[in-house]
Amino acid sequence: MPAAPNVVTRFPPSPTGFLHIGGARTALFNYLYARHHGGTFLLRIEDTDRERSTQPAIEAIIEGMKWLELNWDNNDKIYLQSEHMPRHAAVANEMLANGHAYKCFCTPQELEEMRNHQKANGLPMRYDGRWRDKDPKDAPAGAPFVVRLKAPLTGETTIKDHVRGIVTVQNSQLDDMVLLRSDGTPTYMLSVVVDDNDMGVNTVIRGDDHFTNTFRQVQILKAMNWNIPEYAHIPLIHGSDGQKMSKRHGALGVDEYRKMGYLPEAIRNYLLRLGWSHGDDEIIPDAKAVEWFNLEHIVSSPAKFDYMKLDSVNAHYMREMDDTKLAQTVAARLSEATGTAPDVAQTAILAKGMAGLKQRAKTLKDLTESAAFYVTPRPLPMNDGAKKILSADAKAMLAALRTLLSDLADFSATSIEASIKDFAGQHGKKLGDYAQPLRAALSGSNVSPPIFEVASILGKPETLGRMDDVLK
RNA sequence: GACCCCUUCGUCUAGAGGCCUAGGACAUUACCCUUUCACGGUAGUAACACGGGUUCGAAUCCCGUAGGGGUCGCCA
């Protein structure tokens, strides 16, 4: 099935902030495509903007990638774009030498005036090429200059994109972009092209916001006579306002999702389905994702992020998790929230409780909150629902129940239920009449897993103790 | 403004001219199950943006309109 040999993809975030959800999806698609073809997935940090790039951001991105388990190749090594700036500059100079680039001595003010004029007159906003054919000798001595691409004036540039199809733009629409800044550093447009080429990247999967840039990049590629990679521009993820999700537009860092209690496998599955499909399949475990992923079924329109759906996917994976492992996670979260870590015995109780708890929760956060009562030290605080249940009548019934339970030898859930059911019948009551007060006493709430199961897991001494607390 | 792209239930999507009286999932409604809440089960509401073509036949192809988005930096 894998046709293209040696597929090389890459994820190139710029370290100006955390790894956000849109970037995570781009990374996922690149990762899956490489894995599907048995190819290589690389991580490149685009830190050429020295002003805005930060080390903490680099670390946050790496942490995010690791949390999502999107492991990159090349022995875990990261390609730092800034380390290759001399190479980028060398390429620009090569283009200068072979006539594919030229020096432009315009000042920033001059360019801004030009743009203002164009905007005011409803003209297309592009560099007008005023230094394209001028002799550099005409420039004032020692004046700073940038290096611009000498882009073709006529003809057209065509991109074959796996999502967009074949798209053509007239070269007259594209201006002579800057390759090298006046301080000699390369621009993004140059750096990506050079790095992709040097890294052997042959498949570029990235956000659709890069689509129009692609035409310019292809022009550089052609000027250098380099191979043009396969392209797949994936539609953006929109916020609820229908606009591109960005760091200031509702996109959260992946770490926030971890805190909210989402599982990495759930995030992966949800993100995969957001913009890609495999028939009616919704739950797509990693192995299937790698097996099935392709570029053909990437959706062509933008998607909105939906927490409800994420919740349901997360709930699915959470229920599949091993109870012991889940209990450890919950214990860790509990200790983070309360400051005291559950001990081994308590963690064991949590593990027993997981089966009943996890089908009532969507996230690890929910799960942790609903599990807390198992290990909360006595006397348990009662929530409003519990207080309401514990009327004088209810307490009287609870007192009777206490005697019943203390005499019960077999403290299994079925045994407790059978005995209470029998007891209720004898007193002309329903099971629920006793179950609710018991629930309040044992869980401190009006909502809990099956209460006889809870009692059994808590054990007889703790159960009776909690009942005594309420009866005091 | 210029250029490019997008448009199927509220949301994510299936759909590659007849399989579509448009399918699935999430959400939502009702009922069943039931010691609470969930889970689960059953049923339901709900969409091809609009207008023209092409064709025996169009959600699917073409053109236009409308709406939305992206890009136009010495940011990435």
Q: What is the pLDDT of residues A365-417, one digit of tens each?
A: 999 999 999 999 999 999 999 999 999 999 999 999 999 999 999 999 999 99
The residues of A annotated with a catalytic role in the active site are 247
- The protein footprint on chain B, as nucleotides within 7 A of a CB, is 1-8, 10-16, 23-27, 35-39, 68-76
For strand B, list residues 142-171 of chain A whose Cβ lies within 7 Å of it. 144, 146, 164-165, 167, 169-170
Query: How are beta strands A156-161 and A165-170 bridged, if at all?
Result: antiparallel
* A34 CA – B3 C1', rounded, Å: 33
Q: How far apart (Å, rounded) are the C-alpha atoms in residues A66 and A61? A: 9
Nucleotide closest in space to A182 (CA vs C1') = B74
pLDDT value of residue A125? 83
ipTM entry: 0.95
Q: How far apart (Å, rounded) are the C-alpha atoms in residues A426 and A411? A: 20
Share of chain A above pLDDT 70, in %: 99
Amino acid at the residue A362: K
Whether nucleic acid strand B comes within 7 Å of the CB of A173, the answer is yes
Q: How far apart (Å, rounded) are the C-alpha atoms in residues A144 and A37? A: 47
Whether nucleic acid strand B comes within 7 Å of the CB of A447, the answer is yes
* A109 CA – B6 C1', rounded, Å: 36
For strand B, list residues 328-347 of chain A whose Cβ lies within 7 Å of it. none
Helix (H) or strand (E) holding A320: helix A307-320
Helix, strand, coil percentages for chain A (3-state, nearest 5):
50, 10, 35
A342 close to A350: Cβ distance less than 8 angstroms: yes
Nucleotide closest in space to A213 (CA vs C1') = B71
Residue nearest to nucleotide B7 (CA to C1'): A301
* A359 CA – B40 C1', rounded, Å: 11
* A299 CA – B44 C1', rounded, Å: 30
* A218 CA – B2 C1', rounded, Å: 21
Whether nucleic acid strand B comes within 7 Å of the CB of A193, the answer is no
Whether nucleic acid strand B comes within 7 Å of the CB of A97, the answer is no
Q: What pTM did the predictor assign? A: 0.94
Residue nearest to nucleotide B15 (CA to C1'): A279
Q: In the numeric block, which tokens belong to residue A472?
A: 């005091």
DSSP state of A379: S
Q: Give the number of residues written for chain A.
A: 472
Please name the residues in contact with A407: beta carbons below 8 A apart, sequence gap of 6 or more. Answer: none
Nucleotide closest in space to A163 (CA vs C1') = B5
pLDDT value of residue A133? 86
Whether nucleic acid strand B comes within 7 Å of the CB of A217, the answer is no
Helix (H) or strand (E) holding A368: helix A364-375
Residue nearest to nucleotide B26 (CA to C1'): A309
For strand B, list residues 369-398 of chain A whose Cβ lies within 7 Å of it. none
Phi, psi (5° rounding) for residue A225? 60, 40
pLDDT tens readout for residues A237-263: 987 777 777 776 778 899 999 999 999
For strand B, list residues 408-427 of chain A whose Cβ lies within 7 Å of it. 413, 417
Beta bridge partner(s), residue A101: A149
pLDDT value of residue A244? 79
Kindly give the parts of chain A with pLDDT less than 70: 1-5, 248
pLDDT value of residue A116? 84
Q: How far apart (Å, rounded) are the C-alpha atoms in residues A20 and A296? A: 25
Q: How far apart (Å, rounded) are the C-alpha atoms in residues A319 and A116? A: 58
